[in-house]
Amino acid sequence: MISYISQIFRVRYTETDQMGFAHHSHYLNYFEMARIEWLNSIGFSYAKLERSGIIMPVVFAEVNFKSPSFFDDSLRIKLTIDKIPTASIKIDYVIINESEKEIANGSTTLAFLNRETNRPIKCPQAMLEIIESL
């Protein structure tokens, strides 16, 4: 199992709704932020992957809300991957606040596609080698 804890980030005022909660629509953005941060931390560039003609669209996403977060709350995301990727990769997330209280959890599944054909392909070998070494 692979695990990673994101850098601390703060809920921005613009991300809150009329009730003062971090709006639900931002949680998938938080997941993406943690995912890209994790890829960078293992030395894998998503931008470079795209330039090579491989894209990773989200094909499934779920978010379960446990407790609200508010403007200026400090949050972190625990990211885990339980299976070696094949033609897709499933990533689980748990968002926690500075008191270690669970705010939300969820997952995303991303497919590996050839940009020109939009057809599924296997996980790039370079990524597999890095993941298998963790």
- What is the block-wise mean pLDDT of the chain (134 residues), using blocks of 10 residues? 96 96 97 97 93 97 98 98 96 98 98 97 94 88
Listed by start position, the domains of the chain span 2-133
pLDDT value of residue 134 = 83
Does domain 2-133 fall under CATH 2.30.110.10? My reply is: no
The closest of 33, 34, 46 to 2, measured between CA atoms, is: 34
Global pTM reads 0.94
Contacts of 51 by beta carbon, 8 Å cutoff, 6+ apart: none
pLDDT value of residue 16 = 97
pLDDT value of residue 81 = 97
pLDDT value of residue 33 = 97
Which two three-digit tokens encode residue 20? 């003062």
Provide the 10 A C-beta neighbour count for residue 31.
24
